[in-house]
Amino acid sequence: METDFKASDLPASDFQEFVAARSTALFRGALVLTGNREAAEDLVQETLEKACRKWRVIAAKDAPDAYVRRIMVNLANDRWRRFRRLTTTPHPETGDSVAPGDEYGQVDSRDQLVRALQQLPMRMRTVVVLRYFHDLSDGEIAADLGITPSTVRSQLARGIEKLRSQFPALSGPSAQRHTEGIR
């Protein structure tokens, strides 16, 4: 009995189509989960490698996206546990908002957001990423993570509150409208 992995055993075109359609979204989620471009690329590559190995099972599922996202979240959790750093450095609040069209300022704001997300506990960060970067509902996130929808709402509310505390200038009335109805 031969147990070696063979690419010819997989419906390669289906997997290639999946990668072409979803790799950008997976990368965006991985970037926010890891906070580092190289680590995100590694995470996506490792996720797709695992997905490729199990593609027949995944393709037979009702929601292959959810299955692959779950692989990515599990891998990110494993990495976070392995490489967790105990140092937390607060980032100075400048109080300056980014002017429209200021691309450099927008990069700085994104960098600050990613750094702030890195300060959240892994489950809370994962819930925020799945909601706002993958646009999933409470039920979809709960199914992906194996938790209840009420836990999703609780983690999301706490995560948003922690992020707002790091960006007080952005947490005015306009920011609150985005999160209405999550509780």
In terms of average pLDDT, the best of 38-47, 86-95, 159-168 is: 38-47
CA torsion sign for 129, 134, 173, 99 is: positive
In terms of average pLDDT, the best of 1-5, 74-78, 96-100, 121-125 is: 121-125
Whole-Å CA distances, 114 to 39, 62, 107, 145, 147 = 13, 32, 10, 21, 24
Banded model confidence at residue 74, pLDDT cuts 50, 70, 90? confident
Report the alpha-carbon distance of residue 156 to residue 150 in Å, rounded: 10
Mean pLDDT computed over 82-87:
50
| pLDDT value at residue 22 | 92
| pLDDT value at residue 4 | 38
| pLDDT value at residue 98 | 42
The residue among 63 and 26 whose pLDDT is bigger is: 26
pLDDT over 60 (residue 180)? no
Whole-Å CA distances, 134 to 32, 66, 102 = 11, 10, 26
| pLDDT value at residue 43 | 92
pLDDT over 60 (residue 1)? no
pLDDT over 60 (residue 102)? no
Residues in Cβ contact with 12 at an 8 Å cutoff, skipping those fewer than 6 apart:
none
